[in-house]
Each structure stands twice: as C-alpha cells, then as structure tokens.
Structure 1
Amino acid sequence: MTESEKLALAAHLHVVMRRRIGRVTDVEWMVQDPAYARAMIDIAMGCGHEDVQERARKLQTALFPPRSRPLVEAQATEPVEPRRPVRQPLADLVNGARTYVGGLR
C-alpha cells in the first residue's frame, strides 16, 4: 500500500473520530509514528461507535499488515550459520596498531 493511501485512511479515521468522539488527531504523524498510530487505533476501537472502529481496523490493516507465517516457525525452518568471533591478527597488535587493550588510565 502506498504512503498516500495510508495517509487517506488516516485522514478518514481523523474525520470520524473528530465528529463522533471529539478527538483531534495528527494525520501525518499517525502514518509516520507506529506508537502514535497504535494509540489512536486503540482509542478508536474503544469508543463504541461502529463506523469509527471500522475505519480504525482499515488503518490498522494498512499500517500493521498481518504476517504470513509466525516468526517462531520462520526461525525454526531457516538454517542458522554459527557466528565466529572476529579476531584481530596478532601481527597488528605487535606492529603498533591502535586498539583498546588496557585499563581506563
């Protein structure tokens, strides 16, 4: 979904929230900040007006689409390569490479 479509859904939610419950929102910030969007969606879902809740569900689906498969399954099925620690060659330490080795002073 494009940014302009998300902005349009946020604007529709803004209008119905202002008309029905008197809540003024920032439409652009709703699209940019996920925490603010979730807070406004929570307010809309708890207001008790079906039209406001419907707009909130549409915006929620647009901004936070459901995942196609659970994250746990995705991690379990994909092979994981073991990480190896990155070590600096001893020659660099001996030849005067600037590294943090000692204490604070």
Structure 2
Amino acid sequence: MTEEHHSRAELETHAFALMGRLHVNLRRQSGRVIDIEYMRIDPAYCRYLLKMASLSTSEEVQELGQKLQEVFFGEEGLFVRTEPRQPLLARLQEPAPSAPAAITPTATPAATDNADPVDRGYIGRLR
C-alpha cells in the first residue's frame, strides 16, 4: 500500500470513528439519527450535519463537528483530495446501461457412446 493510500485509509478510519461518536451524541441529546454512510459520500449532507453540530448546545458535539470539518473539508480533507462518490439517488436518475443480447445456448452433442455414464444432453442445463 502506498503512503497516499495508507494516509487516506487512516483518515477514513478517523472520520468513521468521529461520525460514530457524533451519531451517538446526537441520538442521546436530541433524538436525531444521522446516516453515517451517506455523510461519508455526500458533501452536501455532510456540510448540513456539520452546521447542525456547530449550532448544538453541547460542547462535545461542537468539538466533533470541528474535527469532522477538518477531516472532510480541511486542506487535505477527504472531499478535497478526491472526487466524492456519487450519491445513490443521483445514480438512479441516470439511464441504466442496456442489457447485452441474450446468448442462446448451443446444443450439446448427443451421446454417441452408450457406455458413457454421463448424459451429454444434461450438461450445461439446470434441472
């Protein structure tokens, strides 16, 4: 693994731990449930949650929000370094690739030798 991959993996691990803590704190304090996976891939949702954390009355939630802000949007942040993954809902709006043409199965040669215990017509088909 290269240094860049190694540091990115560490950053993602750190972000996941912070998002988990943010999730637990928001759930305990306000009953708010957040989607950690969606936060990881969608910058707009991530910004929304970080803004919500900054407006929280809890110092711990504010601190977690600041740390996540640095991890995602800092100079070497996850959303700054590379293009973020496209959210699933956006992918659904794109036309699906056309399915390949159905391949017709070729007929297997009939068993010519009666001594052969394997039925050649059965090979390649489901029961």
Same fold, TM exceeding 0.5? yes
1:48 aligns with 2:54: no
Alpha-carbon distance in 2 for matches of 1:62, 1:56: 10
1:11 aligns with 2:20: yes
Identify the residue that residue 38 of structure 1 maps to in structure 2: 47
Contact 1:16 1:52 in 2 (8 A): yes
Q: Deviations over 1:54-75 (max 9, x none)?
A: 11111111011147xxxxxxxx
Identify the residue that residue 34 of structure 2 maps to in structure 1: 25
Alpha-carbon distance in 1 for matches of 2:11, 2:57: 29
Letter matched to residue 55 of structure 2: G
Contact 1:18 1:24 in 2 (8 A): yes
Identify the residue that residue 114 of structure 2 maps to in structure 1: none
Give the 4+ runs in structure 1 shifted more than 2 A: none
2:61 is paired with a residue whose SS is helix
Alpha-carbon distance in 1 for matches of 2:56, 2:72: 20
Larger radius of gyration: 2
Aligned length: 67
1:2 is paired with a residue whose SS is helix
TM-score normalised per structure 2: 0.49
Alpha-carbon distance, 1:2 to partner = 2.8
Q: Larger relative CO (CA 8 A, sep 6+): 1 or 2?
A: 1
2:17 is paired with a residue whose SS is helix
Alpha-carbon distance, 1:6 to partner = 1.4
Q: Which runs of 5+ in 1 are unaligned?
A: 68-105
Letter matched to residue 53 of structure 1: Q
Alpha-carbon distance, 1:21 to partner = 1.8
Letter matched to residue 43 of structure 1: M
Alpha-carbon distance in 1 for matches of 2:21, 2:75: 21
Alpha-carbon distance, 1:4 to partner = 2.1
